[in-house]
Homo-oligomer: A and B are copies of this chain.
Amino acid sequence: MILVNGDAVTVVDALDRGLAYGDGIFRTLRTQDRQPVWWADHFAKLVADCAALNLDCPDEALLRSEVCRVSEAGQGIVKIQITRGAGTRGYAPPVDQRGNRIVLSAPLPPHAQTGTPDGIVARWCTLRLARQPRLAGIKHLNRLENVLARAEWDDPAIFEGLLCDDRGEVIGGVMSNVFWAKDGTLFTPELSECGVAGVTRARLLRAAARRNIPARIGRWLPDAILAADEVMICNSVIGVRRITRLDDRTWLPVGWTITLNNALHEEVD
C-alpha cells in the first residue's frame, strides 16, 4: 500500500523535486503487528535529515499513523520518503515549500526473516565514494553511487558490497553500516565525509556503551577489516549480520554477532 500525503494513490506529481533532483530523504524501517519498530530513533533521524537539507518534517503523530495504516500484519517493511515537493524549474528551493511525503509498505524480504542464517557473503566494490561533508551521514535521495556499486555484481550468493572512499578508507556497505571487532574492541568508520549514519549503527554504539564494550569510530583502510576477529554489517531491516566471506577472506564466528543482535533489541524503543 502507498500513501502520498495521506491519500491512497500510487503516483506522485511529475514535477516533484525528489524526482527532478533527488531533493529529499528517506527511511526504511521494520514493522511488527502494524507498529513501527524503533520509531523514536527513526523519527529522530528523519528530523535531523530534514533539518540538514532544510526540508519541512512532517508531524510525528501524522506520520506514525500513516506508517501504521500502510503496514501489513505480522512483520513487514515500511519506506518513508520526504521530498521538497513540486517545484518550478530551477534549483532554487521554492519560497512556499510544500513537501510531499510518500509512505509505502512491502513484505519483509526473505533475508530478513526470523531464522535466516546470521552469516552473509560480501565483496569489495570497486566504486569509490566521493567525499561531500554537506551530505555525509544523511539518508538523502541522491543514491546513484549505491546504484552503481550494487550493479557491480549479480551473483545472488553475494549479499552486500563494501565501499571505500576515494582515499581508500572503509565507509560501509551499499545498504548497511559496517562494524568489526578486534581484541575485544568494536570498530566502525567515521561518517563525516560520506556514507549514511544509520539508526542501527547508532543503536549499536549506544548498546556498546551500555555494556562497557570499547568502541572506536575512526578511519581505517581495508586491512583493518581483514585483520578483524569478526566483521558485521547492520541496518534496520536485517539487524546485525556476520560476514562469513569477503572475497577470499573467510571468518568463523567468535560470538560478536549474537552479542550485538541481543544488545540491539534490549533497548526499548
Known interface pairs A19-B16, A20-B26, A132-B130; A144-B150 also in contact (CB < 8 Å)? no
Q: Mark A52-64, 1 if CB is under 8 A from B, else 0.
A: 0110000000000
- Chain B residue numbers with a CB within 8 Å of A21 are 22, 141-144, 146-147
The smallest C-beta distance from A108 to any residue of chain B, in angstroms, reads: 11
Q: Is A13 an interface residue (CB 8 A)?
A: yes
Q: Is A174 an interface residue (CB 8 A)?
A: yes
The smallest C-beta distance from A246 to any residue of chain B, in angstroms, reads: 19
Q: Is A166 an interface residue (CB 8 A)?
A: yes
Q: Is A244 an interface residue (CB 8 A)?
A: no
Query: Contact: B104 with A14, CB < 8 Å?
Result: yes
What copy number does this chain have within its complex?
A: 2
Q: Mark A140-161, 1 if CB is under 8 A from B, else 0.
A: 1111111111110010000000
Q: Is A10 an interface residue (CB 8 A)?
A: yes
Q: Which of A2, A26, A134, A174 has the most CB of B within 10 A?
A: A134
Q: Mark A1-20, 1 if CB is under 8 A from B, else 0.
A: 01010000111111111111
- Chain B residue numbers with a CB within 8 Å of A174 are 91
Interface residues of A in 12-45 (CB under 8 A from B): 12-23, 26, 28
Q: Which of A130, A141, A175 has the most CB of B within 10 A?
A: A130
Interface residue tally of chain A, by bracket?
35 or more
Docked CA distance A79–B21 (Å): 13
Q: Is A93 an interface residue (CB 8 A)?
A: yes
Q: Mark A150-186, 1 if CB is under 8 A from B, else 0.
A: 1100100000000000100000001100000000000
Q: Is A261 an interface residue (CB 8 A)?
A: no
Which residue of B is nearest A91, CB measured? B150
- Chain B residue numbers with a CB within 8 Å of A28 are 89
Q: Is A135 an interface residue (CB 8 A)?
A: yes
